[in-house]
Structure 1
Amino acid sequence: MSKVPLTVKGAEKLREELHRLKTVDRPWVIGAIAEARAHGDLSENAEYDAAKERQGFIEGRIQEVEGKLSNAQIIDPTLLDADGRCVFGATVEIEDQDSGDVVVYQIVGEDEADIKANKLSVNSPMARALIGKYAGDIAQVQAPGGIREFEIIDVRYE
């Protein structure tokens, strides 16, 4: 399995999720299974089936998060020295050349991506268009409505 890029904050969020899964969710679902078993006949016990399904989901997610953390390449944006170039972890201020709208995005790993929090996946078309560019450059992004152009105003490592 190849290395998965993560920011320091993204890795911390995954560690917190893993801790919650192991210390809160797993014990809860074990208790729910025990309670459902106490009701008797398991062949027609919807509570038991739901709890077992939930347990399968939790155990699968624990394995997935552990795998991601073991393969993580943790990158601290504050330690980057990319000479103003847009790279993974960078915070980029861009201006839409058509509308004049200015937006700030951070380029993050797939698991950290959250467009509402202005965190772009490194694999998104927008991030791929920005990577390698400098402030003052124009990035062209293939959007559903055609090619859109964005001017890079500033690149920060925060």
Structure 2
Amino acid sequence: MSKVPLTVRGAENLRAELTRLKQVDRPKVIQAIAEARAHGDLKENAEYHAAREQQGFIEARIKDIESKLSHAQIIDVKSINAGGRVVFGATVDVYEEEEDAEHTFQIVGDDEADIKQGLISVSSPMARALIGKSEGDEVAVQTPNGPRHMEILDVRYE
């Protein structure tokens, strides 16, 4: 499997979630299963079945995170010398003409993306249009709602 880009912050968040799942959630669900077993007949024990289902979700998430971390290419944006160009991990301030508004985006890995926090996936049309451009460049992005025209105001590596 190929390497998947991930920011340092994204990797830290995944490691923190993995630690919580292993040290808090997993023991809690094991205890819930043990308590449910103590209640007797497992065939009609809803608590037991719910706890086992929860255990399955936790174990699947642990495997998912471990896989993502093992295939991650962790990129420290602060160490990149991109010469003012938009690259993976860069924070970009743009002026959007259609909305007459400024927006700030950081280009992150697919698993880190959260548009409400201004984190856009490196594989999104917006990120693909911005990557390689510099401050002052104008960019047109095709979206399902039609084209969006933006001017890059600033590029930072935070």
2:40 counterpart of 1:40: yes
Q: Which moved more, 1:127-136 or 1:24-33?
A: 127-136
Unaligned runs of 5+ in 1: none
Describe the superposition over 1:30-82 as per-residue Cα deviations: whole angstroms up to 9, x where unpaired.
00000010110011111111000000000000000001111110011111111
2:36 counterpart of 1:10: no
Amino acid at match of 2:132: G
Mapped partners of 1:123, 1:39: distance in 2: 50
Mapped partners of 1:62, 1:45: distance in 2: 26
Describe the superposition over 1:96-143 as per-residue Cα deviations: whole angstroms up to 9, x where unpaired.
022320111110111111112111111111111111111111111112
Mapped partners of 1:144, 1:115: distance in 2: 16
2:107 counterpart of 1:107: yes
Mapped partners of 1:140, 1:154: distance in 2: 17
2:126 counterpart of 1:129: no
| Paired residue total | 158
TM-score (norm 1): 0.97
TM-score (norm 2): 0.97
Mapped partners of 1:111, 1:42: distance in 2: 37
Cα offset for 1:90? 0.2
Cα offset for 1:84? 0.9
Unaligned runs of 5+ in 2: none
- Match of residue 26 from structure 2: 26
- Match of residue 154 from structure 2: 154
Mapped partners of 1:16, 1:53: distance in 2: 23
Superposed CA RMSD in Å reads: 0.9
Mapped partners of 2:14, 2:125: distance in 1: 24
- Match of residue 87 from structure 1: 87
Mapped partners of 2:90, 2:96: distance in 1: 18
Structure 1 segments, 4+ long, off by >2 Å, are none
Cα offset for 1:145? 2.2
Mapped partners of 1:78, 1:112: distance in 2: 18
